[in-house]
Structure 1
């Protein structure tokens, strides 16, 4: 278990779940953050429970995002660019949104966001 501080807002519970605490003096000091949060130049998404998410995440608008599920120092960070998942290639644009039914350069991605060579 880790303890959050002003200089490090991250907190990990006994189950290994990560949270980010609010250290801004805006009336929410120490509260768990939810939604999109930026730390160290990386974007992370936190569920309504405050738990950091990883893997595929669909927002309220139906947009898919891919959050790093590898424990490589950027666990949970939003991914961009071409990403290989389960043997298939997906493209996440600069905002992190998965491309669907569109050309990405010379490559077509289908309605599931998968690069396909058949178009």
Structure 2
């Protein structure tokens, strides 16, 4: 028996596949967000393991960095992370979503530099 429906049967519709770029963008944003805390802890350990970091903690001569600067970089990183993570599957991601990914990475790097810079004399 032939289950294909004969020679005049319509071909089955192909299953819609998500755009590979959207998956790549979401995966990169997810990893950038998840690796933020370990990268911050690594920066903190590196700053404390330096001579200047040790002197800063022991003598209390650490640099004063305003708290609003930390909060601003975290808010920018969080907003960019949400923007990059919500790329839909139905269309290729826009340039704004790719820019959000790079904004996320840049804001995280600035935050890590601020954390490390706190321990400089």
Quickly name the TM-score band, shorter chain normalised.
Answer: under 0.3
- Highest Rg: 1 or 2? 2
More helix, by proportion: 2
- TM-score relative to the length of structure 1: 0.24
